[in-house]
Structure 1
């Protein structure tokens, strides 16, 4: 009897083993799991992290290599970044990756940083695309061309990207500061590299760098979002396990700067831009226990409006238009910085003095418990948003993998939660001090203070006591199809006529996304009101009648509200926000209070005026901003002050300087109301409760001046080419607009979108492949179609970023590619690939809650349903080459464009 029972148990075990082998052919076993993320390891050393989340039908794949600019030797600066570009040039098996990305609807890219390089793609959940992308990543790891011919064509593109960074005063100033801070460590060198190194790179050294670091034992593969874990592990094993484990051993880095022994000063002088300053300080590496305090101190100093720098420099002293911070958790001892932009007419010397005094004030003005709690709340809210987003969690983990271990992502959160006031105070006084600062000139000092000496971190010791929290519960899947969205969305109307679209559905972390659009006035009543509309929108976040600015910010943080407010022309206000289910009603109440009872204070207007004037000044000689403004101004058909009039920078400055506080009060009294508004909510919420709340908050709120839609039609200005000179700018810009007298109900709607996609709207388009890939003339080139609802006022636009000396080549290539497309048309294969890409992109968009909330809100205004989106998807799927080519020839007239070239064309 005992023998029979043993045989039965053995038979059952064998049966279960057989079932398991059918479910999962892979041999991978979990190494460790933390809060829903599971780690596996291949025999060749590849680390695999799976973060499943079925709440959204999207998948994100990220491969992180532990190699960045830190690993470059003498003469090799910029190599890690060059490899990032050349990986996308393909291999014998995959000769054109960008074509495949575009055809499959993958939103793909790569990035290079100090400690790591990563490659990622996000797409609508699709097993075929996921399997293909894993296979491509495995092949790219060891079989990429890294060829001289590709290096030569890409060189102009990399130089173009380098020049874009040099054009940015803030970027250039930060780079010079880091170079002064680090005597020996490569953190003092810009990731993009020295021009001499990049231009003279030896292809054999670049290939050796690739073979050294692009190996499975130096990489981590992360898959997040919706996928079948067993299938993914099968595919990972099939594609990556065949790569051999390299025989070479990577040596640990050991360069470490000595403690800084006196303050530094750096000055950068250039034409244009806005005066600004930054104060940078050496800090410990990201895994160090003290680093958590640095994260919080950055917020205590630079957060708006409660940060010490904002209060002193912006509100009280009126020395700065804005303040900010920039710091990094790096694998080795790094840096953090605080910065300020000079307010108009303020003293730069006085601003520097106050900037340093506040940053280094903790010894005389200790940190308060309120400051610490406010910063902690903000930081943890931001962390939670990243962790609960399938698209961002995989990318975010790259930075912690680069520091040495992905679990540091959770360890830092736990340290932030647990850190004591006295610990943060100690870190502030030890690191934020004069002798550890880079801003001022060197001055000999009898008894200099010293910051703690930089040191490496023992990860095993730091992680020894780490205990992961329980993983979040799985979220039910949601079918993001137009038909299901229509079926699940509750449409209603408040007493005053305000329209609601409520789509309650499961979401990770009980997330809720909302959008509220208010529409104002008439063309006549809004004459000359653009500046008032813009600044009133900005003032909404600066307090209410009941809550001052800081109290409002604290209330929003307590309700986990991330809010964005923008004025679109003078006749529309858009508020978009994210919150959680438990705070959804409170978020709506706070937003209603901001809208209905804003706090009008003269000091707030002066702050906004200073920020606006500073922004105008920084853009008026910037090629990218100037080209767009000049092109739009050339199409003006209405008088100055009309709601559709495009103002130039001088007019914007004039309006802003003339604005009075009473102008904002009057605009609010006349135009604000919800009777012409639309509210959309998407995510995990109680629809009945929020509908009732909306009725209570907005149902009786009507504008004094009623809204009436202002129609328009396309400009009939003849096309022209203009050249605008921007001295001392190493980067130039082409921007063009073609007015089209059609609306988005035109029969060519679908064909125009596909024609644009093939001409310049994707990374496999004609313009991209000619100007970016083949000739390497531009870092970014493309086109777009904007089809306006209801009015025959649509537009086709195009752009290119390039070095000024390549202007003639860029224009020639543009004209030749347009002429070829018009004459020969797009091929059947191009059209087939484009159809697939656009359909996939449409599905991807419907899976994004912020985009869905925006679409539902616009549909409310236009009295449309989601079935119109399905009709567009169906129409795209049926397009023929003849239909697409005919639409291109009917509508695209290069001679009708307003083409503006802006740059230093010497």
Structure 2
């Protein structure tokens, strides 16, 4: 689902595989809320809205009125006379607060001539008010930098939201900022002109992504009259041509308190928050005119529609979509059950996995229900495996969908789907980010109270009504089928039949402007430069800093070793919602010294292969049985390979801790590692490598790493062709031997954080891991000899990828720093001042003033050990490569020559301290940080004392580190896109 973000690299609400509402709600991604009608009576289950009387303490004034509350979910609703709805969710787990403003306006409210205005206006909301003006260094990003934390905005079909996540003592600033820009936006024409090229670059990035192209064209084809026809980002000519006056009219039409909901979630004093809300929002009047209505409805489709997007060289894709009712319709719940039963590549017990993945037809597949304010789409998507026929994939998809219309799903499937969705809803409550974004989507579609009833409504679904709805909606006349095919690809089977469109319903369309989902882009731009963890959102860069005032993390953490050498870290924290009758949740993270560092150069893909195989069953459980057990407890358990470590993290309800520990033990200690699963895994990875060969970020990143490091180094990856050749050579004996050698207890660290009984946890760990045996911990050491010093003397490397709309640029050099080195903190501070993100940093003018890029940042890729790369990443239009390179070099050269100012130093110390507090906002984040520190040898006391260390860093130390590590004379440059060497001369 298209959720466009404001190019800050701050995507906390990242999108993953689109699934049912609950899977999306759990992970706080682009979800669609499923609710009943307003006439539905309050549910009787544990999540049903419980009306409570307004206590005297809530009646702070005659203006701010208490409305209702849900005690189990810990949410209270209030309203101001001007119509502003306020939702409070008190969560005491960590000293962090999320402030989120939702406006009920999205691309649904646009028409031809100003499509994309909602998203464009979202960008303009960061360009300044009279009080907070970036041109005077008082802009929103400037003032938020003083307190740390993260902020961003997203736009979708039915809503726009703006959020800040900050240490709890900065919440008033966030409330003041949101009130200020609700009606105080400057909307300068000069800002619009500069931002247009930024938005256009965002659009160009989406044009290079097959799934974005398909989503855009699927909606454009399935919807012919309703505004869902238009992509969220808009059509190119509208983005380029919309006048400032039209954006101002849009702002005046929709940005008022009675069209908005303010959500505050985290650790706060309720009475103080309510007073702040009244102080800043109370004086703002409600809208003086009615809100423009959306009265266009989509007529029933009268025949199958088809389209083909022909572009690029990526693997073919097949999408099949069916019209379904609006999200608040009762049909949503059975449809969510059906999407869960169909499942996809991440659920190995699901129908699509068995039909598409296990047979080798596809490398990826998913079913998801787009629940929107107006009738939406139920979509099945699949990526075709190499040498497989897209027509065969389409036939398989239609066959599986057709089965749903002819026979009820099994009772086991129904029970597992209900359990998975209900447990995931509960797990979403532990993370304020997941909670806030889930409620945001509920507001977009209907109301937060409908969202609150989701588990109770999902448990009412029967196999029979699921079959009835499938038969009603999954008809050929209600279907749209779309293909993404590489340029010049020819289908080998018979022509398509005519559909609603008449003659040859196979309608070939030119590449369309993508409805890009920023939230699916982890980095801006993406690069192939390795990081030790799965690339997190920008604000979660690995840092060591202070923690909340009066909070001692060390006193909460118990560290011990099992007799076999496995390290355990236990931390009991209170449940997120103290007043709920339900127990809290528990996060488990693990790191094992078994990453790329430990494999040979002629078997580079081996660790990745093993990591994928770990979730393919155990000695006594098939992969389907493992998948079903995970569904029962509503979680997932996947392993990810990194530079040095294999790692995993998961979260479960407190009562399920013994169950998940048993599964973790079996997958780590006794994986099945069958030949058939090995063959299938290699087939899937082969497809992924093929797609990387035409990905501008992957191509530029891989080339940079190969230039910076010598062969034999963990940082020197094989070429894509070499990876494919090596992949074919990997045998089951290779996998078994690698597992036996490196998956040993001394190489393993596990952290368990949350609401659990420590004695019970220790007993379970001893039961499931106590008899695990192995050798001594394997050492990791990276020497200077891995660096290719000659790379900096070479001209920029240019890799032409024809017909790409976007160019990715990576500029980097190895640096001899690890997190344990004395110079690390000074370098880290210096790097943050240079390019922590695209805003309020030295590199910001490349985006803000020059409009050359959608996003630019600098980063130390992985400081677990020395000699990892420091890099600057940016994406640009092909015509802007040369001016962008010139701008970057000018800024960095001056930065290295003159250093930083005392003002910058003071600001960045405060910023990084706040960001660290925010980075520990969830149980998973805490558990991941603990395993990282333990594995790389950082004392856990840093969690409490490192703020003092930051404060002690001097400006002289920072300037010295800048000169030593960030001089571009020692850097190499890699460029990938539709450019050639002449472009940059």
* Residue 383 of structure 1: how far off its partner (Å): 1.7
**Deviation by residue 1:14-36 (Cα, 9 ceiling, x = unmatched):** xxxxx979994674221121242
Matches within 5 A, 1:305-454: 305-316=348-359, 318-439=360-481, 443=498
The structure 2 residue matched to 1:217, chosen from 258, 281, 288, is 258
The corresponding residue for 1:114 is 157
Structure 2 residue 947 is matched with structure 1 residue 873: yes
Q: How many residues align?
A: 849
Instruction: Indicate conservation of the 8 Å contact 2:423/2:653, yes or no.
Output: no
The corresponding residue for 1:507 is 575
Secondary structure of the corresponding residue to residue 224 of structure 1: strand
In structure 1, how many angstroms separate the alpha carbons of the residues matched to 2:297 and 2:383? 32
* Residue 434 of structure 1: how far off its partner (Å): 0.9
Q: Which runs of 5+ in 2 are unaligned?
A: 1-54, 134-138, 483-495, 501-545, 577-582, 981-985
Structure 2 CA distance for partners of 1:23 and 1:330, relative to 1, 3 Å: closer
Instruction: Indicate conservation of the 8 Å contact 1:321/1:607, yes or no.
Output: no
* Residue 415 of structure 1: how far off its partner (Å): 1.5
**Deviation by residue 1:721-768 (Cα, 9 ceiling, x = unmatched):** 211111111011111221122333333222111111111113444444
* Residue 342 of structure 1: how far off its partner (Å): 0.8
Instruction: Indicate conservation of the 8 Å contact 2:428/2:434, yes or no.
Output: yes
Instruction: Indicate conservation of the 8 Å contact 1:480/1:847, yes or no.
Output: no
* Residue 525 of structure 1: how far off its partner (Å): 7.7
The corresponding residue for 2:734 is 663
Structure 2 residue 906 is matched with structure 1 residue 838: no
Secondary structure of the corresponding residue to residue 541 of structure 1: coil
Structure 2 residue 100 is matched with structure 1 residue 100: no
The corresponding residue for 1:603 is 676
Secondary structure of the corresponding residue to residue 99 of structure 1: helix
Q: Which runs of 5+ in 1 are unaligned?
A: 1-18, 446-477
The corresponding residue for 1:473 is none
**Deviation by residue 1:670-698 (Cα, 9 ceiling, x = unmatched):** 33221232121111122222223223322
The corresponding residue for 2:654 is 581
The corresponding residue for 2:316 is 275
What TM-score do the two structures reach when normalised by structure 1?
Answer: 0.90
Structure 2 CA distance for partners of 1:692 and 1:643, relative to 1, 3 Å: farther
Structure 2 CA distance for partners of 1:819 and 1:28, relative to 1, 3 Å: same
**Deviation by residue 1:683-724 (Cα, 9 ceiling, x = unmatched):** 112222222322332233233696343443351423132111
* Residue 218 of structure 1: how far off its partner (Å): 0.7
Instruction: Indicate conservation of the 8 Å contact 1:822/1:888, yes or no.
Output: yes
* Residue 225 of structure 1: how far off its partner (Å): 1.1
In structure 2, how many angstroms separate the alpha carbons of the residues matched to 1:524 and 1:391? 36
Structure 2 CA distance for partners of 1:554 and 1:521, relative to 1, 3 Å: closer
Structure of greater Rg: 1
The structure 1 residue matched to 2:789, chosen from 714, 717, 725, is 717
The corresponding residue for 1:486 is 554
Instruction: Indicate conservation of the 8 Å contact 1:741/1:793, yes or no.
Output: yes
* Residue 291 of structure 1: how far off its partner (Å): 1.1
Matches within 5 A, 1:541-690: 541-569=615-643, 572-639=645-712, 643=714, 645-690=716-761
Matches within 5 A, 1:785-796: 785-786=860-861, 788-789=863-864, 791-796=865-870
Instruction: Indicate conservation of the 8 Å contact 2:405/2:474, yes or no.
Output: no
In structure 2, how many angstroms separate the alpha carbons of the residues matched to 1:579 and 1:521? 26
Which of 498-507 and 730-739 deviates more?
A: 498-507
In structure 1, how many angstroms separate the alpha carbons of the residues matched to 2:316 and 2:780? 42
Matches within 5 A, 1:788-827: 788-789=863-864, 791-827=865-901
Instruction: Indicate conservation of the 8 Å contact 1:52/1:224, yes or no.
Output: yes
* Residue 786 of structure 1: how far off its partner (Å): 4.4
* Residue 520 of structure 1: how far off its partner (Å): 4.5
Structure 2 CA distance for partners of 1:671 and 1:820, relative to 1, 3 Å: closer
Instruction: Indicate conservation of the 8 Å contact 1:520/1:706, yes or no.
Output: no
Structure 2 residue 70 is matched with structure 1 residue 34: yes
Which of 56-65 and 319-328 deviates more?
A: 319-328
In structure 2, how many angstroms separate the alpha carbons of the residues matched to 1:653 and 1:264? 37
* Residue 858 of structure 1: how far off its partner (Å): 2.9
Secondary structure of the corresponding residue to residue 397 of structure 1: helix
Instruction: Indicate conservation of the 8 Å contact 1:309/1:359, yes or no.
Output: no
The corresponding residue for 2:930 is 856
**Deviation by residue 1:253-286 (Cα, 9 ceiling, x = unmatched):** 2211111111011001112111110100100000
What TM-score do the two structures reach when normalised by structure 2?
Answer: 0.83
* Residue 149 of structure 1: how far off its partner (Å): 0.8
Secondary structure of the corresponding residue to residue 484 of structure 1: coil
Instruction: Indicate conservation of the 8 Å contact 2:348/2:623, yes or no.
Output: yes
Instruction: Indicate conservation of the 8 Å contact 2:407/2:467, yes or no.
Output: no
Structure 2 residue 775 is matched with structure 1 residue 699: no
* Residue 879 of structure 1: how far off its partner (Å): 3.5
* Residue 77 of structure 1: how far off its partner (Å): 0.4
The structure 1 residue matched to 2:300, chosen from 224, 238, 259, is 259
The corresponding residue for 1:205 is 246
**Deviation by residue 1:286-333 (Cα, 9 ceiling, x = unmatched):** 0001111111111111332122222112223x2112211243211111
Instruction: Indicate conservation of the 8 Å contact 2:595/2:646, yes or no.
Output: no
